[in-house]
Chains A and B, each alone.
Chain A
């Protein structure tokens, strides 16, 4: 089976700092791939490389067999990769609907179509009632959902979610998990960065673990849960634990 996204030998250095070192893995169409690792492991850097904000120092990124590592973010988005940000970046002084509308234009022929698409998505993510709110005024949980809705409006085949669950309460977490499963059921492949272990273990089909810029493990949640290297990275060395 060919991978939808293939990350091949990616290294990224910032001056003398190596953020990613020779990282390779694939994302298969239709799966939810979890990306975990301690703080500073290089997860967001990896997203920025896939998404086109950073050019990798070495290595290539392939999406649908096309080499995308030199493309600009907007072109990568047009090809079918959408993303959300860890620090939410809603377009603050625009209403919720306008936020989603602006991204729906990417694949809509005209404003009417874009509007229909946006309203449909706002129903789906449960923000319909808040559509006329200025996004600055939304609580964090809803702002995170707005980010997700906005990314969905570009109709991605691959969706990159950067800590969409951070700072949410248990009810919001459950709602969001339902939404993400539904997005996958509708045919979108998902790669997700998450610190919340319960969420990542239950939602992911496979997990890739990064530590200090290196890939230290890859496998099903069960395999990862019992992997000695992973336990060491998270809990420290065996004798001190």
Chain B
């Protein structure tokens, strides 16, 4: 059964839009997939390689602006942003890696946090390229129906999932985990830690940038506050992975599902709307204390909880 589970989930995800869901539900599903894609990217660097980033919005934003600027300044279709954002984000990751990956642990986290904010302010002020706070608006979106957007982001997410699984089962994956567990030991065992950390950053950034480029196409509008958002992208991404399960393959998907649904639930309740940051915080505390490995990582613990009779 367990062996077929991935294929069952995949089949379900592919068939879901055919049921004729409302545009709102499709939107929610697309958001879930966008956040899973960012989450998978973050998880590769933060979960598997142990380099916790508080600034993944920078990769998301750079990806989104690659698509946006191609459209607004060069008059290309913003879909070119998908392949081209890969190149732009890779180059960007190399620069960021060169600066930030000399730092370890909390210092790396703080440097990435600063990086996200620096980029937001930069984008707000580079009026001639980014349009500043006015943002970039697509005059018309490619499709009115959401179904094609859904299939595109689904394809990207599935591709990212397969890529991460392949990478983690290869030498790269073993090196990433070794670096997470003990950088000095890894270094003395012949692993060029700086090079492999940069590699993890590039892969992670590329996946996140891809999500950003898709976001531009799907939403049709970006501005610096939206795509370089500290709360709504950088922090929510960390929460998605923490809730779902750090360093697990399925964690980002599960986490994204929960976080997006929760955000919608809170937002649709007028009394709670303003308190959604607070509730996220409470949830995070709960997860850290009771399910430190997230829902996927501590799945057995949860199952036990609901079968008190047989838990022994």
Chain A positions near chain B (C-beta within 8 angstroms): 51-53, 72-75, 77-78, 82-83, 85, 89-94, 98, 101-103, 105-106, 111, 114, 150-151, 153-154
- Most chain-A Cβ atoms within 10 A of its Cβ — which of B181, B182, B188? B188
The answer, yes or no, to whether B171 is at the interface (CB within 8 Å) is: yes
The interface residues of chain A lying within 8 Å CB-to-CB of B170 are 111
Instruction: Collect the chain A residues with CB atoms within 8 Å of residue B189's CB.
Output: 74, 77, 82, 102-103, 106, 150-151, 153-154
Q: Which residues of B contact A78 (CB under 8 A)?
A: 190
A32 CA to B184 CA in the complex, in Å?
A: 25
Cβ of B191 < 8 Å from any Cβ of A?
A: yes
A–B complex contacts, Cβ < 8 Å, 27 sampled: A52-B188, A53-B184, A72-B187, A73-B187, A73-B188, A74-B191, A74-B192, A77-B189, A82-B189, A85-B185, A85-B188, A89-B185, A90-B181, A90-B185, A91-B181, A91-B182, A91-B185, A92-B181, A92-B182, A93-B181, A94-B181, A102-B178, A105-B171, A111-B170, A111-B171, A150-B189, A151-B189
Do B188 and A53 have beta carbons less than 8 Å apart?
Answer: yes
CB distance from A215 to the nearest CB of B (A): 24
Chain A residues, CB < 8 A from B190: 74, 77-78, 103, 106, 154
Query: Given A74-B190, A77-B190, A106-B190, does the pair A89, B177 have CB atoms closer than 8 Å?
Result: no
Chain B contacts for A52, CB-based, 8 A: 188
Within 8 A of A (CB), among B148-202: 169-171, 174-175, 177-178, 181-182, 184-193
Q: How many B residues have CB within 8 A of the partner chain?
A: 19
Q: What is the minimal beta-carbon distance from B137 to any residue of chain A, in angstroms?
A: 47
Which residues of A are found within 8 Å of B187, using beta-carbon distances? 53, 72-74
Chain A residue nearest to B194 (CB atoms) is: A72
Closest to A88 in B: B185
Contact status A105-B174, CB under 8 Å: yes
Interface 0/1 of B257-288, CB less than 8 Å to A:
00000000000000000000000000000000
Contacts A51-B188, A53-B188, A111-B171 given: A91-B177 contact, CB under 8 Å?
yes
| Complex alpha-carbon distance, A208 and B193, angstroms | 33
- The residue among B169, B171, B189 with the most chain A CB atoms within 10 A of its own CB is B189
Chain A residues near B177 (CB-CB < 8 A): 91, 93-94, 98, 102
Residues from chain B with Cβ under 8 Å of A75 in the complex: 192
- Give Cα A53 to B186, complex, Å: 12
Q: Please report the C-alpha to C-alpha distance between residue A191 and residue B303 in the assembled complex, in whole angstroms.
A: 51
> Which of B169, B182, B185, B186 has the most chain A CB atoms closer than 10 A to its own CB?
B185
Counting chain B CB atoms within 10 Å of each CB, the highest count among A72, A89, A101 belongs to A89
Task: Tell whether A89 pairs with B184 under 8 Å between CB atoms, given A74-B192, A154-B189.
Answer: yes
Identify the closest chain A residue to B193 (Cβ).
A74
Task: Report whether A77 and B181 are in contact in the complex, using a CB–CB cutoff of 8 Å.
Answer: no
Chain B 283-296, CB-CB to A under 8 Å as 1, else 0, gives 00000000000000
A155 to chain B, nearest CB (A): 10
Residues in B with CB closer than 8 Å to A154 are 189-190
Question: Which of B169, B175, B184 contacts A102, CB < 8 Å?
Answer: B175
Q: Which residue of chain B lies nearest to A114 when distances are taken between CB atoms in the complex? A: B171
Q: Complex Cα distance A52/B186, Å?
A: 13
In the complex the two chains form, is B188's CB within 8 Å of A83's CB?
yes
A232 to B178, CA, bound (A): 44
With A74-B193, A93-B181 given, is the CB distance from A105 to B175 under 8 Å?
Answer: yes
A residues less than 8 Å from B169 (CB atoms): 111
Please name the 5 residue pairs, one residue from A and one from B, whose CB atoms are nearest each other, closest first: A77-B190, A91-B181, A89-B185, A106-B190, A102-B174
Return chain A residues, CB-CB under 8 Å to B171.
105, 111, 114
Q: Is the CB of B188 within 8 A of A98?
A: no
Q: Which of B175, B182, B191, B193 interacts with A89 by CB under 8 Å?
A: B182
Cα distance A98–B48 in the bound complex, in angstroms: 14
- B191 partner residues in chain A, CB cutoff 8 A: 74, 102, 106
How far is the CB of A233 from the nearest CB of chain B, in Å? 29
Question: Distance in Å from the Cβ of B204 to the closest Cβ of chain A?
Answer: 20
